Structure 1
Amino acid sequence: MPPRSRSAAAAKLPVTATFLSLALLLLPLGFLATHRTFSGGVAESTSAAEERHRVLLAGNDDGNADAAAAAEHAAAVDRHCACTLHRDVCASTLATIPNLARKPLRDVISDVVARAAAAVRASSSNCSSYLRRPQGLCVRDRLALSDCLELFGSTLGQLGTAADELSAGNRTAEESIAGVQTVLSAALTNQYTCLDGFAGPSASEDGRVRPYIQGRIYHVAHLVSNSLAMVRRLPQRRRRGREALEGYGRVRRGFPSWVSAGDRRRLLQQQGAPPAVADLVVAKDGSGNFTTVGEAVAAAPNNSEARFVIYIKAGGYFENVEVGPEKTNLMFVGDGMWKTVIKASRNVADNSTTFRSATLAVVGTGFLARDLTVENASGPKKNQAVALRVNADLAAFYRCSFVGYQDTLYAHSLRQFYRDCDVYGTVDFVFGDAAAVLQGCSLYARRPERGQKNVVAAQGRTDPNQNTGIVVQGGKVAAAADLIPVLANFSSYLGRPWKLYSRTVFAQTKIEGLIHPRGWLEWNGSFALDTLYYAEYMNRGPGANTSARVAWPGYHVLTNATDAANFTVRNFIQGDLWLNSTSFPYTLGLS
């Protein structure tokens, strides 16, 4: 209760006490027995006196009611905030929500999400004002601020999706909790990605940019984190329908209901064969609609509910390609790995941000790609240089290869699936904070720079309530051709903790002898060793022996299928709700 109400309640108590004391003194003198009383020298009837008495007592009742309401509100704040990581932020947020004690949990979460959206808009305005300054910013800082503005835009969309899912009359709040967790997890990841853009060798020497913006960004992150914690308390029932999120379409005979028979045929073509009907064709020799992939993406319809197929003929396409959020349900079909190649060379050493360095960046929901290669050709000396970045939900890749050195595959956020793909790299070459499953994929460690160690996975979960992680199921971890001759000179590891709650699982995978017996590498001393979750389950091969593995509290050797099943396609990325529509092969459970 606000202090003003407490003061008012306290002021009423002496008045009531005085009246009661006077009544007790007058009772022996027989005043009350006359059925009359006096007020200001004027005689009153008994009924009038009783009314005055009732009013005075009602004042006391109001005070008691205010106190009870305050206690009830405080109890509700304590109840909702008990599970959160940022209780002070939670308490201040919920303190001003009316009727908190009587609100359903999903409505409380919606209120917190709304506060987060308002905070995002304030943070975006703050970054925009800094970006408009005519001087004092280096190229890298301007790029990082631009990344932040893009990420804030994505965040607002994700918070809007969460609000829709939680809204009154929308039963998915209880039946599709995974969908709400997914978009809130991505919204949280976006805040830290923004801040990560200011780290690195090319960041401002005076450090003025990050301190100027980080307070508001952390506030957004804390609000989203608290909403995630509350979502974990919602009843979790699996929806009966076959739909991942509202609006994506019901699945019928393995495809969304809006996919036509013709679309189904084109999605089922064999490797190396052009699609029976492509909406657009890209060809270097001019035999298609366009000669660049970027032109074809720009020509694709926005916000499409039908699959739109771009066939990219064999050849090398030297360009950076961005599939924006408005390009939904887009599909790239190539002529095969190493035949259709999209290649570029942005990198951090040359003043790009990691986020912006991607050769192919995908944001549009429902993106598919098959039978092509994406490469960042910067080379091993250029630090972070991403080949593929995906921050799109329900994205899937089949028979694709991703080639780079450090930070090759940036599985940034949301739900992703990779089947029978190859990934080449050195340091942290599969990284990010998506819920990503790589099934039947080959992960090849290349020859790194002198003094470097190869690390396959650097997962970036920042919050224990995020439903994110990197899962490698089936396939293999092996040395690339350039590493094999010098294998004895370099150590290779399965992963290291990029962020505090890093989560990575290798299951039923062939691990070759390049992997160090310890298996896993520290990021920086004891950082995250207690809070990470790393696990291995039924792997095989000379590098799969767990007897000499690290003894960190967060490392686990899984021995039963029930625990391992949490990280399958069905349970980890809800693949049974959307992968049928891709035409790509997949295994829902353990092999």
Structure 2
Amino acid sequence: MAAVQQQQRLLALLVLVLLFACGGGGRGGGGDGDSEDRSSSSTMLLIATADDDAGRGRGLRWWPPKTFDAVVDQQQKTVPAPPPGAGPPTTYTTIAEALTKGAGGRNQSEEEPKPYVILIKAGRYEETFNITGKNIFLVGEGIGKTIITGNKSNATGYDTVASATVAAVGDGFVAYNLTIQNTAGPANRQAVALRSKSNKSIVYKCRIEGYEDTLYAENGLQLYVETEIAGKVDFVFGNASAVFHKCSLLVRSPPPGKHNVITAQSCNNTSRDSGFVFQSCHVAADEGHAEKLKSVDTFLGRPHKNFSHVVFMGCDLGDVVNSTGWVPWNKDHVIEDVTSTVTYIEFRNYGPGAASDTRRRVNWTGVQVLTEANVTVAEKYTADRFIDANQWVPAGIPYEHGLPPPPPTAN
């Protein structure tokens, strides 16, 4: 009898272990076809409190935000901060105020401070600012509704770094549901809308809008999801390890006689420890620019540094993309030492700008149009492998864990 009871206890323990393994696995090992598991684990994570989740790490517990720490509303006057835990969040009239007076009052000595979440009400905010604190979240009320805008540029006396409308320097930056723009115009040279030097940063459902050097993905691990990025020359540039998932790269018309380049990635070492990966993205003319772009060459990228590293996979490449695909830094001067050391990869792309006839692509050693036989190479560029996304991206932010599906069959 004692032996039977012992067996029953062991069986019950085994059942509990199995239940925990099936239901409590969280985000470990995500791959193709795990969307159901993602949804259930997301629910579990989102109902946990910060204390309950203290051991999970920042990325797994802070999305979506449950409350706001500050509200920015141009229509209201700034009100005093309520006592801790009492009353509504503090309201400010500018984003800069919310950052300096609100977020600036946090204990910055903490290695992993609790996120400071700022709701920015609909409106046009003519501000430029640096975000130096960690885990600052900017949450808007919609693309084209909450607009943060500036117009600094190289032509008006600012270098590239100083021209940024928003500069995110503190790690853990998140932007959601808003527009960031630089309106300096196509003739004013470098004019950054967003500069991100924030490690483990996320831009989700936003529009980043400018002309030359729109998005400076400077350093660190970065993820962009369902975001529009508009510009003309080198409008996604920098040395970050960044994945762009289901984003729209929207090309604008340059000044007469000029050509467009989407990326200028600046890795400069043989380990290729940084790079840009565009997965399931869409490349097309921005609204109102299609007609002018018919006579303009637009390229996927050019090497800002010798080991420039860019991947397009599973992307819909529109007819704005030139059939040669890639271009030297100086269009009329090919430097073989550079073109042989870059890594420019295309895989499972489709649309009129894709490399359906690889003979039309530039004949550089570093340019590879992968076939299904090279799928193991492409797998290295999934978000979970390239930027360890499953280790820090919140479960509530959707992205593909594995490779994009094969291109749609033409009718």
Q: 1:364 aligns with which of 170, 184, 187?
A: 170
Q: Which has the higher strand share?
A: 2
Q: Does 1:562 align with 2:376?
A: yes
Q: Take 2:151 and 2:181, find their aligned partners in 1: how far apart are those partners?
A: 8
Residue 267 of structure 1 corresponds to: 63
Q: Could you say what the CA RMSD is over the residues aligned between the two structures, in angstroms? A: 2.4
Residue 551 of structure 1 corresponds to: 363
Q: Does 1:307 align with 2:115?
A: yes
Residue 80 of structure 2 corresponds to: none
Q: Does 1:285 align with 2:75?
A: yes
Residue 295 of structure 1 corresponds to: 97
Q: 1:488 aligns with which of 285, 294, 312?
A: 294
Bigger Cα Rg: 1
Q: Which has the higher helix share?
A: 1
Report the 3-state secondary structure (helix = DSSP H, G, I; strand = E; otherwise coil) of the residue aligned with 1:552.
coil
Q: Does 1:346 align with 2:152?
A: yes
Higher relative contact order (CA 8 A, sep 6+): 2
C-alpha contact (below 8 Å) 2:204/2:225 kept by paired residues = yes
How far the C-alpha of 1:485 sits from its partner, in A, is: 1.5
C-alpha contact (below 8 Å) 1:305/1:329 kept by paired residues = yes
Pair 414,282 (structure 1): closer, same or farther in 2 beyond 3 Å? same
Q: Write the letter of the residue equivalent to 2:224.
A: Y
Q: Take 1:549 and 1:341, find their aligned partners in 2: how far apart are those partners?
A: 38
How far the C-alpha of 1:267 sits from its partner, in A, is: 3.3
C-alpha contact (below 8 Å) 1:510/1:540 kept by paired residues = yes
Q: Take 2:128 and 2:72, find their aligned partners in 1: how far apart are those partners?
A: 15
- 1:342-376, CA deviations, whole angstroms, 9 ceiling, x for partnerless residues? 00011111121101111000011111110000000
- Gaps of at least 5 residues in structure 1 are 1-240, 243-250, 269-274
Q: 1:531 aligns with which of 309, 321, 341?
A: 341
Residue 8 of structure 2 corresponds to: none
Q: Does 1:580 align with 2:394?
A: yes
- 1:370-408, CA deviations, whole angstroms, 9 ceiling, x for partnerless residues? 000000011111100000000110000110000000000
C-alpha contact (below 8 Å) 2:217/2:236 kept by paired residues = yes
Q: Write the letter of the residue equivalent to 1:340.
A: T
Q: Take 1:494 and 1:382, find their aligned partners in 2: how far apart are those partners?
A: 22
Q: Take 1:340 and 1:572, find their aligned partners in 2: how far apart are those partners?
A: 32
Q: Structure 2 length normalisation: TM-score?
A: 0.77
- 1:108-132, CA deviations, whole angstroms, 9 ceiling, x for partnerless residues? xxxxxxxxxxxxxxxxxxxxxxxxx
Using the aligned pairs only, state the percent identity. 37
C-alpha contact (below 8 Å) 1:444/1:478 kept by paired residues = yes
Q: Take 1:566 and 1:356, find their aligned partners in 2: how far apart are those partners?
A: 35
Pair 257,533 (structure 1): closer, same or farther in 2 beyond 3 Å? farther
Residue 317 of structure 1 corresponds to: 125
Pair 563,265 (structure 1): closer, same or farther in 2 beyond 3 Å? closer
Q: Does 1:501 align with 2:307?
A: yes
Q: Take 1:349 and 1:437, find their aligned partners in 2: how far apart are those partners?
A: 31
1:342-421 correspondence to structure 2 within 5 Å: 342-421=148-227
- 1:232-262, CA deviations, whole angstroms, 9 ceiling, x for partnerless residues? xxxxxxxxx98xxxxxxxx995579983579
C-alpha contact (below 8 Å) 1:281/1:310 kept by paired residues = yes
How far the C-alpha of 1:321 sits from its partner, in A, is: 1.6
- Gaps of at least 5 residues in structure 2 are 1-26, 29-40, 78-89, 405-411
Q: Write the letter of the residue equivalent to 1:551.
A: N
Residue 166 of structure 1 corresponds to: none
Q: Does 1:446 align with 2:252?
A: yes
Q: Take 1:257 and 1:366, find their aligned partners in 2: how far apart are those partners?
A: 20
How far the C-alpha of 1:276 sits from its partner, in A, is: 5.1
Q: Write the letter of the residue equivalent to 1:578.
A: W
Pair 261,342 (structure 1): closer, same or farther in 2 beyond 3 Å? farther
C-alpha contact (below 8 Å) 1:494/1:519 kept by paired residues = yes
How far the C-alpha of 1:266 sits from its partner, in A, is: 8.0
Pair 394,519 (structure 1): closer, same or farther in 2 beyond 3 Å? same
Q: Take 2:211 and 2:150, find their aligned partners in 1: how far apart are those partners?
A: 13
- 1:495-554, CA deviations, whole angstroms, 9 ceiling, x for partnerless residues? 111111100000000000111110111113233101100010000111113421111010
Report the 3-state secondary structure (helix = DSSP H, G, I; strand = E; otherwise coil) of the residue aligned with 2:292.
helix
Q: Take 2:135 and 2:300, find their aligned partners in 1: how far apart are those partners?
A: 33
Residue 138 of structure 2 corresponds to: 332
Pair 482,277 (structure 1): closer, same or farther in 2 beyond 3 Å? same
How far the C-alpha of 1:336 sits from its partner, in A, is: 0.7
Report the 3-state secondary structure (helix = DSSP H, G, I; strand = E; otherwise coil) of the residue aligned with 1:289.
strand
Q: Write the letter of the residue equivalent to 1:358.
A: A
Q: Take 1:506 and 1:361, find their aligned partners in 2: how far apart are those partners?
A: 26
- 1:155-182, CA deviations, whole angstroms, 9 ceiling, x for partnerless residues? xxxxxxxxxxxxxxxxxxxxxxxxxxxx
Q: How many residues align?
A: 334
Q: Quick check: 345-354 or 506-515, which moved more?
A: 345-354
